[in-house]
Structure 1
Amino acid sequence: MTDTKPQKDAYRLILEAIDSGIYRPGDRLVESELADRFGVSRTPIREALQRLETQSLLARDGRSLIVASLDHNQLSELYAVRAELEALAARLAARHATKEEVGVLRDMVEEDRQLVDDPSALSRANRRFHKQIHLASHNRYLVQQLDMVHRTMALMATTSLAAEGRGVDALAEHDAIVTAIAAGDEQRAGDALKQHISKAFTTRLKLDSRNISRLG
């Protein structure tokens, strides 16, 4: 008798575990342990690990696979690409977003104000907010590219929203972005989102420099 139960997506399960911090940069991933955790056979786990390695989300450490980490140059390159793509998404959202999509964005900003004291929850809400802008661009190819960028963002061990005062500032920036999108002002929407990413990058660099000083 054939098993008709839907198969779990091993790739998605591992990716979500990395994104949520269950597995962090440097953590070793073992096929058998992953299969037990997710209730999936080892073959789809192996295929998922190969796919994640191809996407540079996993790296080799001898014979083992570990969650990759980003060095300073990779971080700079990632933020440079993200800033341009996110700005394009905001400009297209200002052109194409429906009133319902704008309403959802406004609601997100208001609801997220309750999360300023919880960096982890605010980080998850931040990803949802940006994803909503990507979708509001109504450009499937841009959404695909931004999905790849945001997958790589999961390789950062900490969120810039953990910095003191950053959560409040980020929400104010989100509000400015939504206001520009609602007004249909493509240039202002793109500029506001690009500046938002720049400030997030600056905050992350400061956090990283403090961590290096502590280690020194």
Structure 2
Amino acid sequence: MKDLKPTNKDAYALILDAIDVGVYKPGDRLVESELAERFGVSRTPIREALQRLETQSLLSRDGRSLIVASLNHNQLAELYVVRGELEGLAARLAARHATEEEVRVLRDMVQEDKALIGDPKAMSRANRRFHKQVHLASHNRYLVQQLDLVHRSMALMATTSLAAEGRGEKALEEHAAIVDAIAAGDGDAAYEALRSHISIAFEARLRLDAAGYGTDI
């Protein structure tokens, strides 16, 4: 069987994932030839992936170079407003449509993630998995698509709110409250629990930024 050649989607996903996990941080320059070598992909799909990321405002121009975009204070605030509303809606719909199996998976995530407390990077990855599972439990493909766009922009943040002291434990308590509301089929409570969770995370991030924390995502 012949090896499958990387597709444009592969190149796009590879670069996006590298930004998401902090290999490339806001302000870093992305060079087509270096990316092609790093990922073992030809330059054409890399070029097309960079164009797509620029169109989505995940990359910006610095002269002739493309760099990973960054978010200013106003953009950050706007993103959290949209995220809070969409995530709240996802939780409300999950309360209506989540299966028993999906609820058990969410509960297991909360329990398993306790072992990651004290490791902000690992907690951040686990946090994304948890939120993605809530999105999927909404059983609304269009909402999931919009939340995917929002979470791509979240990759442009230089810090994770989970780096704040005590934030990991508190975030898991908030996750547990979200799952309880979904399990109870209480859409209003699920909406409010997730909206509150996002609001608290935003405040924690603002405090970290004000304190001048580093750039680990």
Residue number in structure 2 paired with 1:27:
28
Q: Provide, for residues 11-52 of structure 1, a one-character-per-residue CA deviation record: whole Å limited to 9, x for no partner.
A: 000000000100000000000000000000000000000000
Q: Secondary structure at the match of 2:66?
A: strand
Return the alpha-carbon distance in structure 1 between the equivalents of residues 89 and 30 of structure 2.
36
One-letter code aligned to 2:125:
R
**C-alpha displacement of 1:4:** 5.0
Return the alpha-carbon distance in structure 2 between the equivalents of residues 151 and 53 of structure 1.
12
Return the alpha-carbon distance in structure 2 between the equivalents of residues 20 and 100 of structure 1.
29
Return the alpha-carbon distance in structure 2 between the equivalents of residues 129 and 203 of structure 1.
19
Normalised by the length of structure 1, the TM-score is 0.96
Q: Which runs of 5+ in 2 are unaligned?
A: none
Return the alpha-carbon distance in structure 2 between the equivalents of residues 7 and 156 of structure 1.
28
Return the alpha-carbon distance in structure 2 between the equivalents of residues 65 and 45 of structure 1.
12
One-letter code aligned to 1:197:
I
Q: How does 1:8-157 map to 2 (within 5 A)?
A: 8=7, 9-157=10-158
Return the alpha-carbon distance in structure 2 between the equivalents of residues 56 and 84 of structure 1.
21
Q: Compared with structure 1, are the counterparts of its residues 43 and 6 closer, same or farther at alpha carbon in structure 2 (3 Å cutoff)?
A: closer
Return the alpha-carbon distance in structure 2 between the equivalents of residues 190 and 34 of structure 1.
41
Return the alpha-carbon distance in structure 1 between the equivalents of residues 134 and 85 of structure 2.
14
Q: Secondary structure at the match of 1:66?
A: strand
Normalised by the length of structure 2, the TM-score is 0.95
Return the alpha-carbon distance in structure 1 between the equivalents of residues 118 and 98 of structure 2.
30
The reply to whether residue 175 of structure 1 matches residue 176 of structure 2 is: yes
Q: Secondary structure at the match of 2:124?
A: helix
Q: Provide, for residues 112-166 of structure 1, a one-character-per-residue CA deviation record: whole Å limited to 9, x for no partner.
A: 0000111100000000000000000000000000000000000011100000000
One-letter code aligned to 1:146:
L
Residue number in structure 2 paired with 1:5:
4
Return the alpha-carbon distance in structure 1 between the equivalents of residues 140 and 170 of structure 2.
28
Q: Provide, for residues 164-212 of structure 1, a one-character-per-residue CA deviation record: whole Å limited to 9, x for no partner.
A: 0000000000000000000000000000000000000000111111119
Residue number in structure 1 paired with 2:190:
189
Q: Secondary structure at the match of 1:181?
A: helix
Identity %: 76
Q: Which runs of 5+ in 1 are unaligned?
A: none
Return the alpha-carbon distance in structure 1 between the equivalents of residues 4 and 193 of structure 2.
46
**C-alpha displacement of 1:6:** 4.0
Cα RMSD (Å): 1.2
Q: Secondary structure at the match of 1:5?
A: coil
Return the alpha-carbon distance in structure 2 between the equivalents of residues 174 and 154 of structure 1.
21
Q: What is the aligned length?
A: 211
